[in-house]
């Protein structure tokens, strides 16, 4: 499923990017960037509350399909610039990390 389709299905906000990436690496949750860096699968949906520019760099380096900002975390201008540079799709939801991941897992047929 493409990230845009998932976003529409769950009523989340497409906060940045085109949403054209295919989710092919499951779902990954984490906020500590070094851990995410070493463990997030390529093509995953990365659910986090770390909505800063460094997270965008990690998203780009790990090649996740998209970043989901949970808990209603918003992006500042720096983070947007980082997302643009890394060509990252960012979705937003008010849900906590667990609920967001569970909803995404159900929508993707993973749970």
Partner 1 sequence: MSENTLHYHFVVSGDDFTQAGTASSAVKKTLKQLGFDPRIVRKMAISLYEGEINMVIHGGGGEIDVFIDAEQIAAVLTDHGPGIPDIDLAMQEGWSTASEQVRGLGFGAGMGLPNMKKYADELLIDSEVGKGTTVRLTVFLSGK
Give the DSSP H or E segment for 62.
Answer: helix 53-62
Q: Does residue 47 touch partner 1 according to CB under 8 A?
A: no
Given 8, 20, 24, 61, the residue binding partner 1 (CB under 8 A): 61
Contact predicate 24/108, CB 8 Å: no
Shortest distance (Å) from residue 110 CB to partner 1: 23
Residue 41's closest CA among 24, 19, 55? 24
The residues binding partner 1 (CB under 8 A) are 31-35, 37-38, 42, 50, 52-55, 57-58, 60-62, 78, 82, 85-86
């Amino acid at each position: 499923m493409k990230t845009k389709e998932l976003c529409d299905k769950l009523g989340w906000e497409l906060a940045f990017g085109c949403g054209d990436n295919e989710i092919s690496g499951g779902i990954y949750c984490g906020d500590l960037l070094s851990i995410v860096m070493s463990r997030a699968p390529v093509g995953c949906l990365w659910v986090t509350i770390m909505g800063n520019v460094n997270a965008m760099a990690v998203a780009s380096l790990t090649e996740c399909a998209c970043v989901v900002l949970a808990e209603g975390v918003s992006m500042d201008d720096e983070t947007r610039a980082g997302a643009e540079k890394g060509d990252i799709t960012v979705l937003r939801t008010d849900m906590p990390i667990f609920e967001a991941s569970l909803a995404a897992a159900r929508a993707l047929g993973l749970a």
